[in-house]
Structure 1
Amino acid sequence: MISYSDGKEDLENWIVSELGFHPDTLGKSEAIMCLGNGYMGLRSATEEPYMKETRNLFVNGTFNKAQVNEVTELPNLADVTKIDIRIDGERFSLEFGEKKDYIRQINLKTAELTRIFEWTSPKGKKLSFEFKRFVSLHNLHLIGMKMTVKSLSDPVQISFDSGINAQMSNSGAQHFLEGDRRIVDKKIIQLVQTTNESKVDVVINTTHKIMINGEEIVKDPEMNMARRKVWLTYDFSLQPNDILEMEKLTTVYTSRDKEYKNSDYQIHTLQESSLKDLQDCLEKGYDLLFQSSKKEWKNKVWNAYNFEIKSEDSFDQIALRFSLYHLTIMTPAHDERMGIAAKALSGEGYKGHSFWDTELFILPFFIFSNPEVAKSLLTYRYHGLEGARKKAVENGYLGAMFPWEAAWPTDGEVTPKLGDIDIITGEQTKIWSGFIEQHISADITFAVYQYYSVTGDIEFMDDYGYEIIFDTASFWASRLEWNDEKQEFHINNVIGPDEYKEHVNDNAFTNYMAYFNMKLAIRYYEKLKKENSVVLKNLTEQLNLDESYKLWQLKAEKTFLPMPREKDLVIPQDDTYLQLKEIDISKYKNQEKVRTIYRDFNPAQINTFQVTKQADTLLLFYLLQQTFLQDDNRISETVKQANFNYYEPKTLHDSSLSLATHSILANDIGDMDLAYSLFKKSCEVDLGQMMNTSDDGIHAAAIGGIWKGAVFGFAGIRLRDGLLSIRPKLPKHWHHMKFTIHWRAQPVTFFLTSSTLSVKVENKGKVAFEMYGKTYECNDFIEIKLDSME
């Protein structure tokens, strides 16, 4: 059972707990309580091993292809968390003996994992255990662990094995060559791993400090080595009330680290520098190191984002903190060559690959809250232009065709070719997304537009942004197919966001976003022609922009855009959707587990039904109403409501990306009860009571969606063609909401109640915003009454 109410006083609504030990549902807490700092992610498996555990340690950017017939993935590094404990010579396990008061919890405020319980051995001896663990936000290479064992009743012999175990794999796939191992001064262990294809070196160092009753024990351990494994064995006798403490500190370094990017890299340099770091950490010890990390969390995260909700349901506040915690630990803020994985760094799901999840569901948080990190994530996409251009050429197109799944920037398309079993035919299904789900190129363009509009970062645009927009526009111009009979361009044989509909023509989302991409390129070309001829000249020489500009003009105006049909204003999701068979989907709409429709139908059958996996056509309104197309009658408020009423009942939300968008749109059209219900469900994707939702890792996009649902939905913060717009509609049981965003390099703090909006410009620079048709300017503080404003 997951509990949200164990934090007291200054920790109220900061603690997520697992009450009771359940060996068959370990994955939930391993994932949602994972630790990390953007450089690395550590899944929170227990110290003692269990059959259904998953031990994962990932370092961002270390992609490798295990075999020639597999796609590249983030390799699972050697494990440092497992401790084989023996009590009186017998293996310690919570599946034996009796346990009492078991609790495992993550403190979101300090980013420390703890596990506490009492245990009675099969021989009747009572002991108490406490385990602590953190991954430092101060030193990105550091993992800290601490184990405390107290004998409560009898003399007891305790021994344990602890070290580095490189016998790990990614679901059976081994990514590393056998590496060097050594033990320094009978105390420090060092193990080297090198990926077998990408040749990334990994150096892991670990050491232990043992104390009994507060006094350090200097005792030579037994030293052991085996294939891909090295460990130390410690053995102690405890009398009643004796307390054994063991601190274990680990450093992790790789040859992908940025400091080795442009240097004459040598493996021995990595070994010695990483070892020196561990030795320095050993002098400080767990507690001081943890305090340094805790301070970073306070200053860089909680004080910076300043997010607070006063709700009658305390779950809402802890859900927002859970979102901010995971957004911090999943994001490689340290290196612009790396993106965010769909499962973050919490599990092997989706192989560590980046999707459109980043640009549309995660990046908005950073654009509005931490623009420097947003810039880094968009620069990652710029570095991926080489792979995007390669994919375009391979598919017979021009420009940049971004991969559906991305890994190392230059890798290009890394989507696996085969997926699940077809329940009807028994054959393995083909994953078509890597071939024909192409809207990601326009999604990335939208993200660049959103970033520039919110930040005004012209340097980024000159160096990176314009090139991305122009080259994706050229892709779309080459992708369009001319219909001579209708005298217009179409986009055939694609997958839109609704992945239940494969090989469709004129997916509305894809067509409109391609249109937006080309129109944006036209606007920026004309802008540069007037304002920055030097940048335009350089890009023209590289991308043949003069010819491309003519093509964008010609093709954008003749691109087919599905119109709202006259009888009900519904925009067809694609050219056949509205003619498909309607079925009763209540069984799947009320499902406790996603994708249950696949138990009854295969993909070919689902393709013939009016059933939608996730927000598709509806996503258009959320995106395009932020742009210069906001006044287009085809995406008006009236049309938005009509389409919401039509498509939401047909949408199963079988993707974790879907709920937040629907919540925001429900809020827009005034259905506050539905908006909050969908917001709550999006929070529960990972944080809820279902114990099998997160086994493969957390859902990064859904976690980003929690912040979006609160800020873009209930607070009504929205970009509207370069302007900051506010349409607040708080849930009835939210008494107030407070948060800080950045607008044009100005931190701005908002405080919302049901009746007032307070705006404070932290640096006292002028900020203008629009609310319900009225424009306000503020360079210090303003309070606005909300009553009767709509």
Structure 2
Amino acid sequence: MNPWVLAYEGFDPASEGLREALCTLGNGRFATRGATPDGRIRTPGTYQAGCYDRLASEVAGRTVVNEDLVNLPDWLPLTFATPGSDWFNPERADLLDYAQELDLRHGVLLRELRWRDEQGRVTRVRQRRLVSMADPALAALETTFTAENWSGPLRVRATLDGRVTNSGVARYRDLRGDHLTGHATGVQDALTWLTATTRSSRLTVALAARMDAPVPGSSSQELDRITTEHVLDVVEGTPVTLTKVVALLTSRDRAVHDPLSAALRRARLAAGFAELLDAHEAEWERLWERAGLDVDGPELSQIVHLHVFHLLQTLSPHTADLDAGVPARGLHGEAYRGHVFWDELFVLPWLNLRFPEISLGLLRYRWRRLPEARAAAREAGCEGAMFPWQSGSDGREETQTYHLNPDSGRWLPDVSHLQRHVGLAIAYNVWQYRLATGSMPPWCAELLLDIARFFASLAVLNPASGRYEIRGVMGPDEYHTAYPGAASPGLDNNAYTNVMTVWLLSRALELGEVGPEEAARWEDITRRMRVDFHDGVISQFTGYAELAELDWGRYKGVRRLDRALEADGDDVNRYQASKQADTLMLFYLLTADELLAILDRLGYPAEPGLIPRTITHYLDRTSHGSTLSAVVHAWVLARSDRARSWQFFAEALISDVHDVQGGTAAEGIHLGAMAGTLDMLQRCYLGLEPRPEGLHLNPLLPDRLGALSLPLLFRGLRLTIEADQESTRVNGIALPQGAGLTIIEEKMITIGGGGFGGRVGHHHDRLGPTVAPVTGFADNDPVLKVLEPEE
């Protein structure tokens, strides 16, 4: 197995959707699914970050409006035909060989096949595809034909197709997906072009294509499709190549007069495939220098590389300058309509220590929607900023009001907009960015403070108990939307929401930017927030202990209990059953010391064993209906049950490659879970914790992980960490076994644990990872060297 190549043998229509998602190519600005350029069983998808449109549909007798990340015109189509044969498509072809490879290091998709037509003529076809990381407006498809046992004319047809719709998710197909209208096509200076406009957002998209071929072609156009046909004179055994170079521009792009003229100019000036490939590969090499994450074993390495690859295809340095958030399914498909949820909570901690400029751009996406969040808070009778559970173009709440249960076929009310905790995720990311970079731009502080004001206004003092309560919300669990038989949705005192509110208000107070009256109330909330307990564990919400126990044997292996129970005429709200981590998210975001300090401050001194008991209680009652669930459980078990932690980590690693959720990966990769596995390696297993005083390191690698090596960027310092079960090196220098390390902002290092304390001075000579390790540490302060801050 090549750890840098995802390879498939044979053409398998049943798995084509999964291949398309996993073989998506992108550059952070736009991405194209790995659909075949030919054939009928294909779900083409090209999506540009932030390009949304709204349409109204009739659902269950109601008019509902949904916003989608728009499927843009398809630039891929290219097929061919030998004399007297039909146009090639893989479903009907006599395929002698068929293979597809995704080159993860260089961002190239390769397809090779051998086709025998009805007359016995055999043609070898080799295709290479890229979506340029060097020029984020360009994509290219190179096709080489070799006639193995014949000579003669070979027809090749290449198309720009505007007839696409948002139809990539089966359960959405009763809803409108015809977002493109106003199509136009044309030819200019041998370039073909196509334009279209989104129906409600009125965004214009333009594609221009240049065919680099040994002979000129002829064009035919329709209103929403334009085709170029070339007739190649092939000679037995002699390869002949043509390349389709495409430029994609929209009215969201900067520094353009209009999308069409810009697309035509970019396509005209674009280099040939070889030069495009060289520049593209050079950019990927630069990305891997910063994003590299090396582990032992080819299978594990391959999946780690795949996750890094897809993360950077969705969120690259090109994204930093865009007005775009973190789509939960990447730019890889139409599940969740391309919306932005809370997945950035799992993504930004990884980016912060490698690409902080991307993190800052993603936080700016939230800040630009602060006026909309403030308006939503006012409408709800609250202060501050209330961010939506699902966000898209302008920051309005995009959560659907009805959703289809595919198990029962019924459309059901959806109240998941009550997941107010999305604001806590945004605030947490602001603070983590500050810890990782040492920077808090004023607009980031504004963002955090307004979110704090919202949650402070949600907290209402109950005179009877003397405690502040937050009522009528949903937690991360998502199964529990209301109390059994209740007339209105929402739950009271979700532990995750309440505790993280205390955490947030404490951080906001540290900024020292609120008035004395507001500060006094926030301080009071941090001492008197309500948290419920039962049977020696933290209760997920008030009343949780009164819920029934589920017959788990009956629903063994069922991940989406909500759908299964509703189809059976039951309601998951009745049971102590969770879709994913909820209360356990506290152990994911906070250290044990942080959590216990908050509980103690609230007057809930923890009984011995509170944390392990709570983990066990909810682990036994979780169906893992989300790919994020395995990530969180792997994290919270990492130091108490290493074997089980590894099992969850392994599931999270393969969740998309093996499609463990049963068909969902074909609709788009799970970006949060992919980033979460990388963060497990980067922060959890290495014990990396950005703190106000510096970056703390306390490795404890799983036995099955082997060695781990990665570069980091912390407050301007370039670091290389290498670790295994026996030793840890920072920039090539070995740390004492069992020692902790804190890298101080003022270029100082502290070593703690194992008897090695003290502060360590910084030597100004630079140290690379190849320098010989320092050995023979004594009890006196050792001297370590770290890299200077970047200029």
Structure 2 length-normalised TM: 0.87
Candidates 452, 464, 468, aligned match of 2:434: 452
Instruction: Name the counterpart of 2:103.
Output: 107
Candidates 6, 15, 19, aligned match of 1:29: 19
Instruction: Name the counterpart of 2:52.
Output: 63
- Corresponding residue SS for 2:706: strand
Candidates 418, 426, 433, aligned match of 2:416: 433
1:471-513 Cα deviation digits (max 9, x unpaired): 1111112212332322222112211010111132211101111
Q: Residue 629 of structure 1: CA displacement?
A: 5.2
User: How far apart in 2 are the matches of 1:97 and 1:59?
Assistant: 33
Q: Residue 557 of structure 1: CA displacement?
A: 2.7
**8 Å contact from structure 1 (residues 668, 713) kept in 2:** no
User: How far apart in 1 are the matches of 2:472 and 2:398?
Assistant: 20
1:223-254 Cα deviation digits (max 9, x unpaired): 21112111112223434224231100001111
Candidates 267, 271, 278, aligned match of 2:267: 278
Rate the CA distance shift 1:340–1:645 in 2: closer, same or farther, 3 A: same
1:282-338 Cα deviation digits (max 9, x unpaired): xx3101111101001101x11112321124xx2211121111111111115242521
Rate the CA distance shift 1:635–1:180 in 2: closer, same or farther, 3 A: farther
Alignment-mate amino acid for residue 26 of structure 2:
G
Q: Do structure 1's residue 682 and structure 2's residue 652 form an aligned pair?
A: yes
Alignment of 1:4-403 (within 5 A): 5=1, 7=2, 13-51=3-41, 53-67=42-56, 69-88=64-83, 89-171=85-167, 173-185=177-189, 187-210=190-213, 216-217=214-215, 219=216, 221-259=217-255, 266-267=257-258, 270-281=259-270, 284-299=271-286, 301-311=287-297, 314-331=298-315, 333-358=319-344, 360-403=345-388
Instruction: Name the counterpart of 1:263.
Output: none
Alignment-mate amino acid for residue 459 of structure 2:
L
Instruction: Name the counterpart of 2:643.
Output: 673
Q: Residue 588 of structure 1: CA displacement?
A: 5.1
Alignment of 1:615-634 (within 5 A): 615-625=581-591, 631-632=597-598
Rate the CA distance shift 1:582–1:772 in 2: closer, same or farther, 3 A: farther
Structure 1 length-normalised TM: 0.87
- Corresponding residue SS for 1:734: coil
1:653-707 Cα deviation digits (max 9, x unpaired): 11111111111111122x2211111111101111226683411110011111110
User: How far apart in 2 are the matches of 1:250 and 1:29?
Assistant: 23
Q: Do structure 1's residue 488 and structure 2's residue 467 form an aligned pair?
A: yes
Aligned length: 725
**8 Å contact from structure 1 (residues 208, 249) kept in 2:** yes
**8 Å contact from structure 1 (residues 683, 706) kept in 2:** yes
User: How far apart in 2 are the matches of 1:336 and 1:170?
Assistant: 23
User: How far apart in 2 are the matches of 1:491 and 1:678?
Assistant: 32
Rate the CA distance shift 1:647–1:255 in 2: closer, same or farther, 3 A: same
User: How far apart in 2 are the matches of 1:122 and 1:766?
Assistant: 72
User: How far apart in 2 are the matches of 1:522 and 1:597?
Assistant: 40
Rate the CA distance shift 1:553–1:689 in 2: closer, same or farther, 3 A: closer
Rate the CA distance shift 1:722–1:629 in 2: closer, same or farther, 3 A: farther
Q: Do structure 1's residue 575 and structure 2's residue 545 form an aligned pair?
A: no
- Corresponding residue SS for 1:728: coil
User: How far apart in 2 are the matches of 1:209 and 1:277?
Assistant: 15
**8 Å contact from structure 1 (residues 319, 706) kept in 2:** no
Alignment-mate amino acid for residue 598 of structure 1:
R
**8 Å contact from structure 2 (residues 33, 332) kept in 1:** yes
Q: Residue 93 of structure 1: CA displacement?
A: 2.0
**8 Å contact from structure 1 (residues 757, 783) kept in 2:** no
Alignment-mate amino acid for residue 477 of structure 2:
D
Alignment-mate amino acid for residue 415 of structure 2:
W
Rate the CA distance shift 1:472–1:124 in 2: closer, same or farther, 3 A: same
User: How far apart in 2 are the matches of 1:630 and 1:453?
Assistant: 21
Q: Residue 734 of structure 1: CA displacement?
A: 3.2
Candidates 585, 600, 604, aligned match of 2:552: 585
5+ unaligned residues in a row in structure 2: which ranges? 58-63, 168-175, 482-489, 734-742, 768-772, 778-791
Instruction: Name the counterpart of 1:725.
Output: 696
**8 Å contact from structure 2 (residues 320, 357) kept in 1:** no
Moved more, 173-182 or 226-235: 173-182
User: How far apart in 1 are the matches of 2:130 and 2:262?
Assistant: 22
User: How far apart in 1 are the matches of 2:380 and 2:78?
Assistant: 50
Rate the CA distance shift 1:117–1:380 in 2: closer, same or farther, 3 A: same
Structure with the bigger percentage of helix: 1
Q: Residue 23 of structure 1: CA displacement?
A: 1.2
Moved more, 578-587 or 201-210: 578-587
Candidates 589, 595, 604, aligned match of 2:560: 595
User: How far apart in 1 are the matches of 2:54 and 2:518?
Assistant: 37
Q: Do structure 1's residue 654 and structure 2's residue 643 form an aligned pair?
A: no
**8 Å contact from structure 2 (residues 435, 691) kept in 1:** no
Instruction: Name the counterpart of 2:576.
Output: 610
User: How far apart in 1 are the matches of 2:727 and 2:456?
Assistant: 47
Alignment-mate amino acid for residue 183 of structure 1:
V
User: How far apart in 1 are the matches of 2:279 and 2:421?
Assistant: 43
Rate the CA distance shift 1:334–1:422 in 2: closer, same or farther, 3 A: closer
User: How far apart in 2 are the matches of 1:778 and 1:364?
Assistant: 28
Q: Residue 355 of structure 1: CA displacement?
A: 0.7
Rate the CA distance shift 1:150–1:336 in 2: closer, same or farther, 3 A: closer
Moved more, 119-128 or 672-681: 119-128
User: How far apart in 1 are the matches of 2:545 and 2:406?
Assistant: 26
User: How far apart in 2 are the matches of 1:428 and 1:697?
Assistant: 23
Moved more, 731-740 or 699-708: 731-740
- Corresponding residue SS for 1:179: strand
**8 Å contact from structure 2 (residues 565, 572) kept in 1:** no
**8 Å contact from structure 2 (residues 124, 145) kept in 1:** yes
**8 Å contact from structure 2 (residues 106, 281) kept in 1:** yes
Alignment-mate amino acid for residue 193 of structure 2:
Q
Alignment-mate amino acid for residue 319 of structure 2:
A
1:90-131 Cα deviation digits (max 9, x unpaired): 121222343233211111000000011212223322111111
Q: Residue 48 of structure 1: CA displacement?
A: 0.7
Q: Residue 714 of structure 1: CA displacement?
A: 1.9
Rate the CA distance shift 1:280–1:761 in 2: closer, same or farther, 3 A: farther
Candidates 469, 474, 499, aligned match of 2:453: 474
Alignment of 1:506-517 (within 5 A): 506-517=493-504
- Corresponding residue SS for 1:90: coil
User: How far apart in 2 are the matches of 1:412 and 1:361?
Assistant: 22
1:130-170 Cα deviation digits (max 9, x unpaired): 11100111001010111112111223542232121111111
Instruction: Name the counterpart of 1:528.
Output: none
